[in-house]
Amino acid sequence: MSYQEDGETVDGLGDMFTEPEVPPSPKATFVNYDRKPERLNDSEHDTRSRSWQTVVIRLVGSHPLWGHYLWNAAKSFATYLDVHSNSLCKGKAVLELGAGGGLPGLVCALNGAKQVMLTDYPDHSLIENLKYNVEVNVSSEHQHAVRVMGYLWGKPVEPLLVTIDETDGVERKFDLIILSDLIFNHSQHDALLDTCDEALSADACNVSTPSEPGTPCVLVFYSHHRPRYVEKDLEFFRKARDRGWLCEKIVEERMEVMFPEDSGDENIRGTVYGWRLSRNPI
């Protein structure tokens, strides 16, 4: 920038009036989840995906709620749902809370779930990204069975329930609720459990075995990202038991740590745990 002073041009004021450049927003990233044939059960599959062996997950470029990562728990969750698709997915109404990229819920849809509701914090970028992942991975003739909605944990669940197809004599509630890497949000444990209490079907649980886990149930997969807070993470299950839930560990899988530079025992940070919560029969 320059200006005139006594007939002379004077430079040097540009820095005073030029706004600093704003760095561009990080671009979205894509991660493929490859579904290995040997990891699927042997039953006949309801092929609803354009590319059955691969789910393509787009992640927002950056987000304060950590929606820009595909967490290890989501990958382990996806495999578990594939293996147990007959009992957990086919014909079921499924709710995923804090879905991020939506991988576990999408796997349910691709395995023949009657209805899948993918939810996350009501932020435009997160919700639109979830809708994109549905469009890319679920065939057009089945997309009506997968819905996306912004939802705050602990708030009334009626907006979620009214989306479930009504069946004569059957309450509108979910058979399966998915919580993938959410319990590190210690302040939200009660809110998460409130939603599970209200949204899960009160029907008697099907007979559950390690090979055929029954529904209705809540599945919780997670890693201890901060080993010093292991006990705070596990407080979620102590609170669940106090509310009358039966809690059983169903998965323990060692994976590569996501952030090698972080502090803490890598064996702890690199392990995914899966738990099944079901109602305690009275």
What is the per-residue pLDDT for 8? Answer: 52
Q: What phi and psi values does residue 64 have, to the nearest 5 degrees?
A: -65, -15
Show the low-confidence residues of the chain (pLDDT under 70): 1-25, 38-52, 62-67, 167-170, 204, 281-282
What is the per-residue pLDDT for 211? Answer: 77
Q: Calculate Rg over the CA atoms of the chain.
A: 23
pTM: 0.86
Provide CB contacts within 8 A for 115, sequence distance 6+. 93, 94, 145, 146, 147, 163, 164, 165
**Across the chain, where does the E strand assignment appear?**
2-5, 8-11, 29-34, 54-59, 93-97, 115-120, 146-150, 176-180, 217-223, 245-254, 271-279
> Scanning the structure block, which residue is given the tokens 């309801």?
46
Burial 241-276 (b: 16+ CB within 10 A, else e): eeeebebeebbebeeebeeeeeebeeeebbbbbbbb
Report pLDDT digits (tens) over 40-55: 544 444 444 434 689 9
